[in-house]
Amino acid sequence: MAVRPGRWLDRKSRERAMRQWAEMAESVEFMAHGRIRGLADEAHALRASLNRFLMRGDRKASISRVALDALDLPGGTDWRWRPGFMAGHITPRGVAVPEPGTRLGDRAAVWHDCNERAMILEQVQNPRATDLSPFGMRLEVFGFTGSFLSISIDLPTEALEGLTRNHILRLETTLVLERPLNVYARLNIGHGPNTDEVLQHLHGLEAGLQSQRVIEFDLAYTEMNEKRLEKIWLDLIFESPGMSAVEIRELFLSRHLRADF
């Protein structure tokens, strides 16, 4: 399985450099003037490179937002959303050996019951010019002895505004699997003390290829109380995930009203 040591070492080098600059900032009062001048020149050059990177990154995120508005969606679509971890940088960028419920960014969390926790969840940059989202998420799993593993994504409260059982929630996702794997998407809607669930299987995912799938969750099959809606989230569930890797290169949700006949 690809562990990508080069990328890991690059990240560690950047983290070490960041700590060094933080330490020098704290000790600048005790430095000689000549050393300060030399380091200041380095700092200005570094800041110029960082500003250039941020400007180009923001431009790509803006293109992604424009593409979001331009997507061909069903008539009557009244809400659309893509998680923030797909549009811009998050902190931390990754987590290793995560405890159950460990969050990545403000919307995603990993849930499992594996004692060894031999896995890595991280934000990655999407590699293709045709990718609508500048960033994605990668989950690498090594030895897995648990019974379940999922990535949970909290939807914003706007998804609940005006939500009825006449709505259909649409999920468009693009995944890359390292090996064949059963993946399920489960929509969860909390209303009062109850939670309704709608489960869909992402059929026909092929290992090594970028697989795009569109599925719909018809809320007519739920018993949700429209007056007591409190929370809504999506679980991506991975069956028998040991010694595998999954990349989420697109994850886009929208909703529309069911057509009346």
For residues 109 and 17, membership in a common domain is answered with no
Residue 183 pLDDT exceeds 90: yes
User: What local confidence, expressed as pLDDT, does residue 2 receive?
Assistant: 43
Residue 255 pLDDT exceeds 80: yes
For residues 95 and 53, membership in a common domain is answered with no
pLDDT tens per residue across span 18-39: 888 888 888 888 888 888 888 8
For residues 110 and 220, membership in a common domain is answered with yes
Calpha distance 192→231 (Å, rounded):
9
User: What local confidence, expressed as pLDDT, does residue 54 receive?
Assistant: 66
**Domain end among 16, 34, 63:** 63
Of the segments 60-64, 81-85, 139-143, 233-237, which one has the largest average pLDDT value? 233-237
Does residue 69 sit within a domain?
no
Does residue 9 sit within a domain?
yes
For residues 145 and 233, membership in a common domain is answered with yes
Give the chain's domain count: 2
For residues 217 and 104, membership in a common domain is answered with yes
For residues 96 and 205, membership in a common domain is answered with yes
Q: Three-state SS string across 206-234, please? A: CECCEEEEEEEEEHHHCCCCCCCEEEEEE
**Domain end among 63, 87, 113:** 63
Does residue 68 sit within a domain?
no
Does residue 192 sit within a domain?
yes
Does residue 127 sit within a domain?
yes
pTM of the model: 0.72
For residues 20 and 98, membership in a common domain is answered with no
pLDDT tens per residue across span 26-82: 888 888 888 888 888 888 888 878 777 766 665 555 555 555 555 678 888 999 999
How is residue 192 annotated by DSSP?
A: T
pLDDT tens per residue across span 89-129: 888 889 999 999 999 888 899 999 999 999 999 999 887 76
* Cis before 127 (ω within 30): no
For residues 28 and 102, membership in a common domain is answered with no
For residues 121 and 38, membership in a common domain is answered with no
Does residue 137 sit within a domain?
yes
What CATH number has the domain bearing residue 131? 2.60.120.260
Calpha distance 160→208 (Å, rounded):
36
Radius of gyration of the chain (CA): 22
For residues 120 and 32, membership in a common domain is answered with no
Report yes or no: 211 and 176 within 8 Å, Cβ to Cβ: yes
Token readout for 149 is 């593993």
List all residues 6 or more positions away from 192 whose beta carbon is below 8 Å from its beta carbon.
225, 228, 230
Range of the domain at 16: 5-63
For residues 141 and 196, membership in a common domain is answered with yes
Does residue 193 sit within a domain?
yes
For residues 133 and 229, membership in a common domain is answered with yes
Lowest mean pLDDT among 121-135, 140-154, 216-230: 121-135
User: What local confidence, expressed as pLDDT, does residue 261 receive?
Assistant: 46
Does residue 244 sit within a domain?
yes
